[in-house]
Amino acid sequence: MIYFDYAATTPVDPRVLDAMLPYFSEMFGNPSSVHRYGQRAEAAVDSARETVASVLNCRPDEIFFTSCGSESDNLALRGAGLAMREKTGANWLLTSRAEHHAVSKTAEQLEKHYGFQVEWLDVDESGMVYPEMVEKAICHDTAIVSVMYANNEIGTINPIREIAEICHEHGVLFHTDAVQAAAYLPVDVQSLGVDMLSLGAHKFYGPKGVGALYIRQGTPLVPSQTGGGQEFGLRAGTQNVPFIVGFAEAFRLTNEERVERTAHVKPPRDRIVGTILEEIPNSRLTGHPTDRLPNHCSFAFEGVDGNLLLTLLDAAGFACSSGSACKTGNPEPSDVLTSLGLPREWARGSLRVTLGVGTTLADVNAFLKTLPPLVEQARRLATDKHR
Ligand SMILES: *Cc1c(COP(=O)(O)O)cnc(C)c1O
């Protein structure tokens, strides 16, 4: 089996696992305890926080550990949305049509149950949000703007720094979901200019079930999980010490090895794109042709059932994705693909291929040999069904 789904999740780096293991056994203390067991656990969490802060170029007390990328997005939108409304009365949320559900469903809930109004920013045909669109939509009633750094389904990278500048000119908070971006893109929060930034460890060779939210000092925020005073009172619950240690080690390594990892995945990714567009008729790249994550390619094939293609690929030994969370049985294109304005006959036939540290040239060659006949087969089966 060959794995081409690194955007869905990555295996834990063995060095990360090694760093985590002692905190399951001899150093099992609760970081809030006064005794030495607690002190050692607390020191591990403090040190992890410092590591993450140094990669993000911020202060350690601006880092809040959470249970996942989704929770970070939830905390940012709900927490800052509520606090901003309390402070200024603003109750509009501005976000794009191509966000991950962790942002878009949170925005929808804030509209339905909390009385906020959501304004959805259109994206262009590559899924990109333009700063001018934000400039046009933002107003004194906007509480918070949330635009993702890089798109998980189509790989497109947004001009975060420019969008952040516009938000600040208007005194509006800006959050970015960097969960997918952090594996490859620079995440210096000062040069990005963001107020909040979400991360999740399992997208960069850390464990699943741990995330972080950067919150710029002075940003108003209502906690969404109440209880003990952990995480500076903004996220109650005994810290998951081994996973926080794993998060920090994975993030440190990602930052240290960013250039090598990019050099490892980009040339084979470019080859996949070139070969597929050349050899498979009625195929196109989805997302931006150049401003995209270096390990990411995504396609649409006309007249193909994307789920069927995934099943055929799986049977042939390749783990890919349709680029959406949609499961077999739901043939509808994802919200992101719909937002690109692709015709339905194309959007249903989506395929996402994402590379990582384990990808070899042989894997790519085998894939490029296998895919074209499988797309043909999927097309034939779709036509047979309609007869
Ligand atoms: C994976 C992902 C999330 C969700 O992160 P989890 O840690 O799986 O909850 C959110 N946003 C983007 C862009 C992602 O790729």
The Cα–Cα gap between 193 and 162 comes to 9
Which amino acid, 257? E
Which amino acid, 4? F
- Ligand 1 centre to CA of 69 (Å) is 5
12 near 205, Cβ under 8 Å?
A: yes
Angle in degrees, CA 60, 61, 63, rounded to 5: 70
**Cα dihedral sign for 205, 252, 21, 180?**
negative
For atom 8 of ligand 1, which residue has the closest CA? 69
Q: What is the pLDDT of residue 326?
A: 53
For atom 5 of ligand 1, which residue has the closest CA? 69
Name the pairing type of β-strands 211-215 and 63-66. antiparallel
Q: What is the pLDDT of residue 387?
A: 56
3 near 367, Cβ under 8 Å?
A: no
Among the atoms of ligand 1, which is closest to the Cα of residue 152?
A: 15
Mutation choice for ligand 1 from 71, 152, 176, 184, CB with most ligand atoms inside 8 A: 152
- Global pTM reads 0.97
What count of residues does the chain have? 387
Listing DSSP states for 301-366 in one string gives ETT--HHHHHHHHHHTTEE-B-SSSPPTT--SPPHHHHHTT--HHHHTSEEEEE--TT--HHHHHH
- Ligand 1 centre to CA of 123 (Å) is 20
From first to last of its 387 residues, what are the pLDDT tens digits of the chain? 999 999 999 999 999 999 999 999 999 999 999 999 999 999 999 999 999 999 999 999 999 999 999 999 999 999 999 999 999 999 999 999 999 999 999 999 999 999 999 999 999 999 999 999 999 999 999 999 999 999 999 999 999 999 999 999 999 999 999 999 999 999 999 999 999 999 999 999 999 999 999 999 999 999 989 999 999 999 999 999 999 999 999 999 999 999 999 999 999 999 999 999 999 999 999 999 999 999 999 999 999 999 999 999 999 999 999 876 555 556 678 888 888 999 988 999 999 999 999 999 999 999 999 999 999 999 998 877 665
- Ligand 1 centre to CA of 324 (Å) is 12
Among the atoms of ligand 1, which is closest to the Cα of residue 150?
A: 13
Angle at which helices 241-256 and 36-56 cross, to 10° = 30
Cα–Cα distances (Å) from 212 to 143, 201, 228, in that order, read 22, 8, 18
Helix (H) or strand (E) holding 96: strand 92-96
- Ligand 1 centre to CA of 179 (Å) is 5
Among the atoms of ligand 1, which is closest to the Cα of residue 68?
A: 7
- Ligand 1 centre to CA of 200 (Å) is 6
The Cα–Cα gap between 283 and 294 comes to 20
Residues catalogued as catalytic: 326
Report all structural domains of the chain as residue ranges with CATH numbers, in order of start.
2-7+258-385 (3.90.1150.10), 14-254 (3.40.640.10)
Which amino acid, 327? K
The Cα–Cα gap between 53 and 73 comes to 18
Among the atoms of ligand 1, which is closest to the Cα of residue 201?
A: 7
* Pocket, ligand 1, Cβ cutoff 6 A: 68-70, 73, 100, 102, 148, 152, 177, 179-180, 200, 202-203, 211
The Cα–Cα gap between 157 and 151 comes to 7
Residue 384 makes CB contacts below 8 A (sequence gap 6+) with none
- Ligand 1 centre to CA of 11 (Å) is 15
For atom 6 of ligand 1, which residue has the closest CA? 69
Mutation choice for ligand 1 from 180, 185, 210, 243, CB with most ligand atoms inside 8 A: 180
143 near 172, Cβ under 8 Å?
A: yes
Cα–Cα distances (Å) from 332 to 64, 68, 327, 340, 364, in that order, read 36, 27, 10, 14, 29
Among the atoms of ligand 1, which is closest to the Cα of residue 8?
A: 1
Mutation choice for ligand 1 from 70, 197, 243, CB with most ligand atoms inside 8 A: 70
Least Cα distance to 223 among 349, 67, 340, 82 occurs for: 82
- Ligand 1 centre to CA of 37 (Å) is 33
The Cα–Cα gap between 288 and 157 comes to 8
